[in-house]
Structure 1
Amino acid sequence: MPPKLTPQAKTIKGVLLGGVAPTDPEATWDITIEYPPDRPDGVISSITPSGDSASSSPLALPALVHPHIHLDKAYVHNTPAYNHLLPVTGSFQEALASTTQAKAKFTRPDLLKRGAWLLAESVTSGVTAMRAFVEVDHTVQHTCLEAGLTLKHEWRDSCQIQLVCFAQDPIFSTEHGDENRRLVEAAIRGHASAELSVLGTTPYVESSIEASKRNIEWAVDLALETDRHLDFHLDYNLSPPDVHPEPLIWHVLHTLREKRWTSGTTNRRVMLGHCTRLSQFTGEDWKRLAKEIQEHALPVSFVGLPTSDLYMADIPSGGAVKSNPRGTLPVPEMVRKHGLDAVIAVNNVGNAFTPWGSADPLNLACLGVGVYQAGTIGDAELLYECVSTRARAAIGLSPPGVDSGVRLRCGDHAEILVLHNVDDTGCLGDSDSRSRKSLAEVVWDPPSRASRAVVCRGHVLMPALPTRPDAAFRSGV
């Protein structure tokens, strides 16, 4: 069940802001939210110095975003009906096979229950927007899509759900390829873009490179025809060049150029997910990639999925011999060194593709500190952006080129995460517990959900409130 909401807040009093040095003499601030006719969901209209004491003030940050998460496959491992499909080998092929078997048992009540679990875990963590994948194929038909549309409607006041019509299975090979493709086309053409705004495919599951390239070309054509964002699961391997053909990313970029999909011709974006093969790129490869995207104004973003990638992506037999090799996109380096648009996301929770980890993007940002050896304050801010403001822009929910960083500012959406000082140990009072007064402290050691108050479209989610609503928030006419 979606959380209860307070009336729309008019002010948030006496908060610290992320991205502000703790030595700032005006360290606490009052945030005013207005609801003009053209922004009925709320917009921050002013941020002014407050006289409140910084020692007891909560920290206010931009809300969190899932730029890539699977809604229909969440928490399969937490459901008794699928106990016989728990991992045995832990391999990628096993995950594909066991998930196919699980999908054959998916029912609408089951999908709604597990989807609600994911949404509840997410929104109480601070997620107010997500790109959520629902599969369409010969096994599930449109069952996952229909459940996704129901959840999108039921949870619309607490989370903006951007649904992806997702072809996980082949659409140009195997005996079911044609049927899978027809089902996807029917779904895309049968729903308005506001309901189903993204097309997603998985070119690497096709049985040949030629079929993979057809998959890419078909997806680009269909997305352009129906005015959709496009999201590829791509190059999910660590094969060295002498074992595996050229990465498919080059064909994606070639096709976008050929079809004239640029930032100047459409506001729709293209997301490339996983891309673990790119972790083996040389410096020259990265230069070539950045040049092709930037010189041709291709609206391309990358999403690294560390929890899945580190678990699943390895070098296949016949490849270079390494000790337990793993790989994921080097997101901070892609952003800083090569000027590419890249974010990170949770991807899967509680299934064979990713049996570990949670739906909390803050935990993912924390993981990134170790994965990327990114331990500076600046690193923490970038990692937070990658699950917040950068992620929101990457999926097309903020205008291209607009990056609000980690500090709230006038004109931002009224989508805010407020972190209170709450003792969740039961050993200390709130005034004596260890508080987090900077964004870096939040990323390095994420606070519990009990400390998080989530503002979505100006409303405060009641289950996440650690204190009385009027302790920091003010409503009114």
Structure 2
Amino acid sequence: MELLIKNVIIDESNKPVDIAIENGFIKKIAENIVAPADRVIYGEGHVVIPGLVEAHLHLDKALIAGRLPNKSGTLKEAIEVTGKLKSTFTKEDVMTRATEAIEMLIQNGTTYVRTHAEFDPSGGFHGFETIMALKDKYKEVIDIQVVAFPQEGIFKSPGTEEMMHRAMELGADVVGGIPYNDTDAIAHIDLIFEIAKKYDRDIDLHQDFKDEYEGQTIAYLCEKTIKEGYQGRVSVGHLTTLGAMPDAELNPIIELMAKAQINVMCLPMTDLHLGGRNDEYNVRRAVTPVRKLRDGGVNVCLATNNIRNPFTPYGNGDLLQVAMLAIPVAHLGGADDLHTTLPMITENPAKALKLRNYGVKVGCEATLVVLDTKDYHNTILDMPERLFVIKNGHVTIELKRQLTKNY
């Protein structure tokens, strides 16, 4: 064996097992495996989970919060401020910031990420091209999916439609979109499907990001998804408008979303920060209704969205922090709910991103995280350090503690 991990917890039974890894895959899971191995990790009863999956991020806009602050904390000012800053971005600048953000993710046990990389006629492709280069540079330690993202809209920004096609030809993995930030949201969605079908790519939209639900297009998106045979191939981020809907109107939409197999990326750090800014009292959580979507059969994920920029002026790339925040915000702390939270940063986004051979099972890719906790039920609550991060059978991160004797 290349690697043998001894005495670890891999599920809610809290029963210790060993994990044998060969040729980058999990070969065997059992008690007391006896086999020669190039390296043995003694787990000492710690929890092992599959590599964390960051389903929605903007690497090209990371770490710019201090350059031109969003003083009001509103979405409107975040878009305005970022629009001004984008003209100052260079390839070197994007490379430096995105590299720092990627290494934050890796240190925190994220082994897969889907990042939206934007472009427009005024800013060109330098940010997008930089992210594509980083995808290749870091491929041994983190898998990066790149979404072609028209942040400034398509129809209201002439020339962007041609750039969308060019981005796909340059290797973008997913077709992105932002219907609410264009002159015609329906036409925007139709065009995104046209492009996605041409290049046989999945779709990931910034969808219905506001406090009220009037004018939302999620129902049309679901109908379009079913009509085009794209069930399971469409993801949406934010979707905060659903949080303002009474059940009588919300429930039929959730049923339609489940039928269309829409994946939802809830982004609590951003949406809490930007949402409800006009509420004078009883300020809304301003996040998509996670429990209702989950109970309605919709695949729900938790993701970061931004790291320290005008949209989200905090964060360190730690998905466990995102999940911990979501527990009180989305009412996931109940006895029947808590165990559904960890899958929202592991199994659920893995499904949305179409990851193959994912999980802690025989035959799966040996992409694992050893956590500094010994109770599977407390995986998020303990906010444990990552003791080891393993990608395809190779240790990429190893936490070493040393006590200095100074007494």
| TM-score (norm: length of structure 1) | 0.78
Q: Which residue of 2 aligns with 1:306?
A: 268
Match of 1:382 among 327, 335, 340: 340
- CA deviation after TM superposition for structure 1 residue 62, in Å: 1.3
Question: Which of 206, 222, 233 is equivalent to 1:233?
Answer: 206
Query: Residue 414 of structure 1 contacts residue 457 of structure 1 at CA under 8 Å; is this kept in 2?
Result: yes
Query: Counterpart of 1:150?
Result: 133
Contact in 2 for aligned 1:43/1:412 (Cα 8 Å)? yes
Q: Secondary structure at the match of 1:61?
A: strand
Does 1:132 find its partner at 2:115? yes
Does the aligned pair in 2 maintain the 1:286–1:338 contact within 8 Å?
Answer: no
Residue 224 of structure 2: aligned partner: 255
Aligned partners of 1:12, 1:289: CA distance in 2, in Å?
45
Question: How far does the alpha carbon of each residue in 1:408-461 deviate from its partner, in whole angstroms, 9 at most, with x for none?
Answer: 2222221100024xxxxxxxxxxxxxxx2113323113123xx43101111111
Q: Map 1:174-323 onto structure 2 (within 5 A).
A: 177-188=157-168, 190-191=169-170, 195-207=171-183, 211-239=184-212, 244-245=214-215, 247-262=216-231, 269-295=233-259, 298-314=260-276, 322-323=281-282
Equivalent residues of 2:74, 2:275 under 8 A apart: no
Matching residue of 1:419: 371
Higher strand share: 2
Q: Residue 231 of structure 1: SS of its match in structure 2? A: strand
Over 3 Å counting, the alpha-carbon distance change for 1:123 and 1:342 in structure 2 is same
Please, which of 40, 43, 46 is the counterpart of residue 28 of structure 2? 46
Question: In structure 2, do the counterparts of structure 1 residues 377 and 416 end up closer, same or farther at CA, with 3 Å as the change threshold?
Answer: farther
Task: Return the alpha-carbon distance in structure 2 between the equivalents of residues 158 and 87 of structure 1.
Answer: 34
Q: Is contact 1:34–1:44 with CA below 8 Å preserved after alignment?
A: yes
Which residue does 1:329 correspond to in 2? 288
Report the alpha carbon displacement of residue 55 of structure 1 after superposing the two structures with TM: 9.9
One-letter code aligned to 2:155:
F
Q: Out of 16, 19, 30, which is 2:9 matched to?
A: 16
Indicate if the aligned counterparts of 1:344 and 1:387 stay in contact, CA closer than 8 A.
Answer: yes
Q: Cα distance 1:388–1:437, how it changes in 2: closer, same or farther (>3 A)? A: same
Find the aligned partners of 1:115 and 1:461 in 2 and give their Cα distance.
Answer: 19
- Paired residue secondary structure (2:84): helix
Correspondence 1:336-375 to 2 at 5 A: 337-375=295-333
- The one of 83, 86, 89 equivalent to 2:69 is 86
| Pairing 1:402-441 to 2, within 5 Å after superposition | 408-420=360-372, 436-441=373-378
Deviation at 1:376, TM superposition (A): 4.1
Letter in 2 for 1:258: K
The answer to whether the 8 A contact 1:47-1:410 is kept is yes
Identity among equivalent pairs (%): 25
Q: Deviations over 1:320-351 (max 9, x none)?
A: 8644333101223321x211111110000100
Give 3-state SS (helix, strand or coil) of 2:361's partner. coil
Matches within 5 A, 1:432-471: 436-448=373-385, 451-462=386-397, 464-466=398-400
- Deviation per CA, 1:49-87: give whole Å up to 9, x if none: 1399x9943221111010001110011125xxx2xx112
Query: Closer, same or farther in 2 for the Cα pair 1:87/1:220, shift >3 Å?
Result: same
| Cα shift readout 1:190-243 (whole Å, capped 9, x = no counterpart) | 22xxx4210111111124xxx111111000111011111101101111115xxx
Corresponding residue SS for 1:57: strand
What aligned pairs does 1:97-108 form with structure 2 within 5 A after superposition? 97-108=80-91
Gaps of 5+ in 2: 35-41, 403-407
Could you say what secondary structure the match of 2:101 adopts?
A: helix
Contact kept, 8 Å, 1:126 with 1:452, in 2: the verdict is: no
1:460 maps to a residue whose letter is V
What secondary structure is seen at the aligned counterpart in 1 of 2:269? helix
Alignment RMSD (CA, Å): 2.3
Residues 225 and 51 of structure 1, relative CA distance in 2, 3 Å threshold: closer
Q: Which 5+ residue runs of structure 1 have no aligned equivalent?
A: 1-7, 22-26, 36-41, 264-268, 421-435, 469-477
Contact 1:206/1:212 (<8 A) preserved: yes
Taking structure 1 as reference, are residues 293 and 326 closer, same or farther at Cα in structure 2, changes over 3 Å only? Answer: closer
Residues in 2 aligned to 1:121 and 1:260: alpha-carbon distance in whole angstroms = 37
- Name the residue aligned to 2:37: none
1:139 shift after superposition? 2.9
Q: How many residues align?
A: 395
**2: distance between equivalents of 1:300 and 1:55?**
38
Contact preservation (8 Å) 1:237, 1:276:
yes
Partner of 1:129: helix, strand, or coil?
strand
Aligned-residue offset at 1:294: 4.2
**Per-residue displacement from partner, 1:243-302 (whole Å, max 9, x unpaired)?**
x33x21011112223323235xxxxx110110000112332334312432444xx24211
Kept in 1, the 8 Å contact 2:6–2:44? The answer is no
Give the Cα separation in 2 of the matches to 1:456 and 1:390.
19
Deviation at 1:393, TM superposition (A): 1.0
- 3-state DSSP class of the match of 1:157? coil
User: What is the CA–CA distance in structure 1 between the aligned matches of 2:181 and 2:103, rounded to whole Å?
Assistant: 31
Task: Say if 2:255 and 2:296, in contact at 8 Å, map to a contact too.
Answer: no
SS in structure 2 at match of 1:86:
coil
Shift of residue 358, structure 1, vs aligned partner: 2.5
